[in-house]
Amino acid sequence: MAKEKKKPEPENVDGIEGKMTLGELLKNIFPFVKPYKWLVTATLIFTFVSSLMAQVNAVVLDRAVDAINDLLQQGSFLWSAAAKILIVISVILLSKEVISAVLTFAQRYFGEKMRIMVSRDLSLKVIDKILSFRMAYYSADVNEPGKLQSRIDRGVSSLSSTVNNLFIEILPLFTSAILALILMFMANVYVGLVALCIVPIYFYITYLQAKHLKGWRRGIFGSHQALSQGILNIIESITVIKSFNREDIEANRQANLQQQITDQQMTTRRLSYIYNGVKSFVEQIGTVLIIILTAYLVLIHYPGMSIGKIMYHVLLFNNVSAPIRQLHRIYDDMNDALIYAEGFFGILNDEKEIEDRGHYRPEQVVGNFEISGVDFTYGNGTQALFDVSMNIEPGKITALVGLSGAGKSTVVNLLDKFYEPDCGSIKLDGVDLRDWDTQWLRDNVGLVLQKNHIFSGTIEENIRYGNPDATFEEVEEAAKKAYIYDQIVQLPKGFQSQALQLSGGQQQRIAIARMFIKNPPIIFLDEPTASLDAIATEQIKASIDAIKAGRTVIIISHNIGQIIDADNIFVLQKGHLVQAGTPDEVYRQGGIYKEILDSSARSMNVDKIAQTIEGE
């Protein structure tokens, strides 16, 4: 006998615990609504008046039917009396529609304005928050760029929809429903009780629907996060994908993910349609019961009941059931908001990831780093440093040498306070780095990476990023020091050209110019000439040599010329410090540094180059 295929369970969402309730959602969103309390007040006033106007049709129809019935019961039919009834009905209903249109416009305008304002504030707040996080936050798997962007975008969208539902959808509907229910009870208690009994049944079915679908909705959200990350990876890796002809593999990977989302969506739709059918049936049962009961009360001549009251109660019950008909959609939106809000407010309320700012701000930064017994592990569990100790002297050039993955860049990241060590201490000028004001520290550090980020904007804006207060003449001077000035002025728009249109090597020089214009006392160079050709490398080396004077410089490079110029060398291997000293001392010790230097010389054909130069 074949085994029954097990139905897949909905997936959980990365980084989301699933504990947020409606009360917590409203509590979290309240501070963003509070500044616009005048909009809330205006919306509530217009909502209440609009809800009163919504009951006019039922009242008018009740009186009109009874008036027409009384007219027909008279022995002689008078057209003048009939005309009077029709005129009164027309005037009241048309006036009501005009007033309702104005009220609805005002209520929706103020409600939508509040939604837009809250959406803006949420976006600005979360941007401020993620800018305050330490670097370790971004190295966690659940905080990959695509997932983080999806969490923020969907969070803002769903929370602004929540504000819209509260003040534009739910309030008008339920205010109208409550008023209609009160009028039904005032007209007849029994009819009011029938209407009242239908409401909790419908609510309970909607609750079961939301509970049943919550896990599947969470799975869809998680799949959308993975999809966003996958698309981002394709865009970032498009050159590699095309060079290896792996378009089919990436397309199939995305197709599988899309199929997973499709299956999840079809499951939620199927379940929703089943529940919605049951709720529609319950609503129609309520309407039938109202008609039967009111007709029966009219037939037995129950006090206060007339033919007009049949239509009166049916229309009022329609106002009661109107929010019920919308409830499943609003409830679905609210449950989506609960899921997306968990991830969004998880970012917004995360205090433990905020970067420690410190308070120490000396007048002068000397640049003496003391690293003692430092271990460091990245957020993904990879330990990069083991009991590393070194003393980086001020005003000297220190090179960090080692094979890829040795921990060189990790040391620079720790010195720039991007991360904090697991244990041990790092001091700058005798003060623990944790106590340094982070912003002050980084104002005094220049950092050039192997792959520097160029922002969308002009060349001038990208260079000026190193010093927003710099004059244009200082921007030009920095470009000259980075040997990029001549190439810039040859562009049609010069310094106003878009920086992203430059080549990789040119962008690297822009990053170096950014460091020149900052003019800091401490410089970190992580493969600063990796993207440059030999001539550009020599030019940049000359500029860097000029700026090194009197500064503390830490350089990571596989370029022999830059390593050999260092005053001191620290050699790292698999996260351990294995050698230290001057370049000559370390080379005579043998070991990994000698192997790297000899291999570099052989790979460059140094002997043959020397023979060529001598022959010339």
461-503 pLDDT tens trace: 999 988 888 999 999 999 988 888 999 999 999 999 988 888 8
On the 0-12 / 13-18 / 19+ scale of CB atoms within 10 A, 104 is middle
> Does residue 111 sit within a domain?
yes
Q: What is the DSSP secondary structure assignment for residue 165, as one 8-state letter?
A: I
In a domain, 527, yes or no: yes
Q: For the residues 421-437, what does the mean pLDDT come to?
A: 92
In a domain, 9, yes or no: no
Residue 106 shares a structural domain with residue 61: yes
Q: How far apart are alpha carbons 573 and 385 in whole angstroms? A: 9
In a domain, 125, yes or no: yes
Q: Band the pLDDT of 427: cuts 50, 70, 90.
A: very high
Is 80 exceeded by the pLDDT of residue 35? yes
Q: How many CA atoms lie within 13 A of 393 on its CB side?
A: 13
343 and 381 in a single domain? The answer is no
Do residue 507 and residue 447 come from a single domain? yes
Is the same domain home to 442 and 509? yes
Residue 22: pLDDT above 80?
A: no
**Domain extent for 580:** 369-615
Residues 165 and 54 in one domain: yes
Give the pLDDT band of residue 143 (cuts 50, 70, 90). confident
Has residue 387 got a pLDDT over 90? yes
Question: Within this chain, do residues 510 and 583 fall inside the same structural domain, yes or no?
Answer: yes
Same structural domain, 251 and 391? no
User: Domain for residue 439, yes or no?
Assistant: yes
Integer CA distances (angstroms), 570 to 329, 384, 403, 492, 566, in order? 64, 16, 12, 46, 10
In a domain, 608, yes or no: yes
Give yes or no: residues 133 and 238 share one domain: yes
> Would residue 38 count as lying in a domain?
yes
Final residue belonging to a domain, choices 289, 316, 348: 348
Q: Which residue has the higher pLDDT, 597 or 392?
A: 392
Segment 510-566, tens digit of pLDDT: 888 888 888 889 988 887 776 667 777 777 677 677 677 778 999 988 777 778 888
What is the pLDDT of the chain when averaged over all its residues?
A: 80
Buried b (16+ CB within 10 A) or exposed e, 321-332: bbbbeebbebbb
What pLDDT is stored for residue 77 in this prediction?
61
The stretch 95-101 carries a mean pLDDT of: 86
Give the separation between CA 96 and CA 57, rounded to whole angstroms. 9
Looking at the predicted structure, is the pLDDT value of residue 319 above 70?
A: yes
Let me know whether 335 and 375 are in one domain.
Answer: no
User: In CATH, what number is assigned to the domain containing residue 169?
Assistant: 1.20.1560.10
Q: Which of 315, 348, 381 is the last residue of a domain?
A: 348
Among 66-70, 129-133, 495-499, whose mean pLDDT is lowest?
Answer: 66-70
For the entire predicted model, the pTM comes to 0.67
Looking at residue 607, its pLDDT comes to 64
- Whether residues 284 and 419 share a domain: the answer is no
Domain count, the chain: 2
DSSP string, 508-572: HHHHHHHHHHH--SEEEEESTTTTS-HHHHHHHHHHHHHHHTTSEEEEE-S-HHHHHT-SEEEEE
Structural tokens at position 477: 């001077």
Segment of 110-114, 218-222, 347-351, 428-432 carrying the highest mean pLDDT: 428-432
> Which of 348, 379, 400 delimits the end of a domain?
348
- Judge if 324 and 409 occupy the same domain: no
Say which residue the tokens 């997932």 belong to: 147
CA dist., res. 79 & res. 323, Å (int): 40
Which of 149-153, 231-235, 300-304, 345-349 is predicted least confidently? 231-235
On whether residue 15 sits in a domain, the answer given is no
Q: What is the CATH number of the domain that holds 411?
A: 3.40.50.300
* Per-residue model confidence (pLDDT) at position 386: 94
Grouping H, G, I as helix, E, B as strand and the rest as coil, residue 486 is helix
Q: 8-17, 105-114, 213-222, 568-577: lowest mean pLDDT where?
A: 8-17
Q: What is the DSSP secondary-structure string of 266-302?
A: HHHHHHHHHHHHHHHHHHHHHHHHHHHHHHHHHHTT-
Q: What angle do CA 319, 56, 200 make, to 5 degrees?
A: 20
| 209-213, 339-343, 400-404, 451-455, range with greatest mean pLDDT | 400-404
274 and 311 assigned to the same domain: yes
What percent of the chain clears pLDDT 90, i.e. is strictly above it? Answer: 14
